[in-house]
């Protein structure tokens, strides 16, 4: 019994229990909500969010108030770049992937340089970058068409690939394994925790703190870019600010998964559960006819509730 209570208090376990509860609630509100088809569709949407949240996760783990508010802008930009590069042809997929990754890495690099060299707080730096990206999107949209997804990309995202499961879900699982390996079994991963936990001590132990932090923002940019590319495959063509919703929801997924906003504590497995949970919540809100603005309010309130919950937990342990 004594072992059960701490187990139930683990964020991952809480998230999994909530997922089951929400699925049950959805099924009772609208029969068919928890059918296999529907769950697969939810998982596709969760993959997109989960990929963005992977980048958000490493930036937050790296500490010093690390956060990336520009992910939504990068997702939108990447969707447009991908659409124009491939423009409906399968042959354009590889160049599109490379172009998107380059763009994501570039804006991540700018974020990282601003945070480390110019010492701009991440919140301000990435918020400013989001503004720049939004302006850039308007300019681009006036000049060139939004572009279309290649059939191969759409199939990868929406059609079953192996064992009846679409490619993007396999991709997400692969990213999950990669993240677990990186965080636990590589020197880079250990150094992320080290700078997130005690930056000065890490510096004194020879960790290249600046380069690490720039790298984390670049990783975040590249994950957001991959998500933007996949999002194009999901929707067929890109439209204004497709990525906007990912800023808030990626942060919530990370916090839900038990990663501390102070850095140095947490992991990606919980974040994956958090992403699924959020997507199911979103599905339920849609089922009961709550519109986008209502959903945003619920999401914002969820984040605040989570902070309250974890904040209290910390205070009680101390």
Partner 1 sequence: MSKLKLNGVSKAYGATLALRRGDLEIAAGEVHVLMGSNGSGKSTLCKIIAGSVRPDGGEILIDGRPVTISGPQSAREQGIGIFYQELSLAGNRSVEENICLAMLPVKAGLFIDRSALKARAARYIDLFSEVSGDGFTAETLVGNLRADQRQLVEIMKALASEAPILIFDEPTSALDRAQVERFFGILRGLKRDGRGIIFISHRMDEITAIGDRVTIIRDGETIKTLNLSETDPATVIRLMVGGAGDMPASQSSAPAVANFSTGAAMTVDRLSGVGFRNVSFEVAKGEILGLGGLHGQGQSAVLRAIFGAGSITSGEIRIGSDRFDAKKPRDAIRRGCAYVSGDRGRDGVIAGRPIIENVTPIHYLRDRLMIARPSSLRQKAMPALEAMHTKFASLMHPINSLSGGNQQKVIIARWLIDRPDVLLLDDPTKGIDLSAKADLFALIRQLAADGLGILLYSSEDAELLGNANRILVFNGGSVTRELTGEDRTRYNLYQAAYEAA
Q: Which residues bind partner 1 (CB under 8 A)?
A: 184-191, 193-194, 197-198, 200-208, 264-265
Residue closer to partner 1, measured from CB, 138 or 205: 205
Radius of gyration (C-alpha) of the chain in whole angstroms:
19
Q: In the 8-state DSSP scheme, what is residue 169?
A: H
- Residue 12 C-beta: closest distance to partner 1, Å: 18
Residue closer to partner 1, measured from CB, 139 or 204: 204
Measured between alpha carbons, how far is 121 from 48 in angstroms, rounded to an integer?
A: 27
Measured between alpha carbons, how far is 107 from 99 in angstroms, rounded to an integer?
A: 13
- Residue 58 C-beta: closest distance to partner 1, Å: 16
- Residue 198 C-beta: closest distance to partner 1, Å: 5
Measured between alpha carbons, how far is 122 from 69 in angstroms, rounded to an integer?
A: 8
- Given phi > 0 = left and psi -120 to 50 = alpha, else beta, which region is 164? left
Residue closer to partner 1, measured from CB, 61 or 242: 61
Contact 115, 125 (CB under 8 A): yes
Measured between alpha carbons, how far is 67 from 51 in angstroms, rounded to an integer?
A: 16
- Residue 172 C-beta: closest distance to partner 1, Å: 24
Burial class (CB in 10 A: 0-12, 13-18, 19+), 255: buried
- Residue 4 C-beta: closest distance to partner 1, Å: 22
- Residue 201 C-beta: closest distance to partner 1, Å: 5
Which residues are registered as beta bridge partners of 148?
237
Q: Which residues contact 179 (CB under 8 A, 6 or more apart)?
A: 54, 57, 267, 268
Residue closer to partner 1, measured from CB, 106 or 188: 188
Which has the closest alpha carbon to 84: 130, 150, 151? 150
Residue closer to partner 1, measured from CB, 265 or 295: 265
């Amino acid at each position: 019994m004594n072992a059960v209570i701490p187990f139930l208090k683990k964020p991952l376990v809480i998230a999994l229990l909530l997922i089951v509860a929400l699925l049950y609630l959805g099924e009772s509100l609208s029969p068919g909500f928890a059918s296999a088809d529907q769950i697969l569709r939810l998982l596709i949407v969760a993959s997109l969010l989960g990929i963005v949240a992977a980048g958000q996760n490493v930036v937050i783990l790296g500490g010093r108030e690390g956060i990336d508010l520009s992910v939504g802008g990068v997702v939108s930009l990447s969707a447009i770049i991908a659409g124009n590069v491939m423009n409906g042809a399968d042959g354009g997929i590889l160049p599109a992937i490379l172009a998107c990754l380059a763009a994501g890495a570039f804006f991540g690099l700018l974020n990282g340089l601003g945070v480390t060299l110019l010492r701009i707080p991440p919140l301000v730096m990435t918020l400013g970058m989001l503004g720049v990206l939004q302006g850039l999107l308007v300019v681009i949209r006036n000049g060139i068409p939004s572009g279309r997804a290649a059939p191969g990309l759409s199939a990868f995202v929406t059609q079953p690939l192996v064992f009846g499961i679409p490619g993007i879900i396999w991709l997400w699982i692969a990213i999950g394994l990669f993240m677990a390996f990186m965080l636990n079994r590589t020197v880079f991963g250990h150094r992320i925790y080290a700078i997130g936990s005690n930056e000065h001590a890490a510096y004194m132990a020879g960790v290249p703190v600046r380069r690490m932090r720039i790298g984390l923002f670049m990783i975040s940019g590249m994950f957001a870019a991959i998500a933007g590319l996949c999002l194009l495959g999901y929707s067929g063509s890109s439209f204004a600010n497709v990525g906007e919703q990912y800023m808030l929801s990626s942060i919530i997924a990370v916090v839900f998964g038990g990663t501390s906003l102070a850095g140095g504590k947490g992991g990606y497995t919980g974040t994956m559960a958090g992403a699924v949970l959020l997507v199911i919540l979103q599905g339920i809100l849609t089922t009961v006819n709550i519109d986008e603005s209502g959903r945003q309010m619920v999401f914002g309130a969820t984040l605040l509730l989570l902070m309250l919950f974890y904040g209290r937990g910390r205070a009680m342990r101390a």
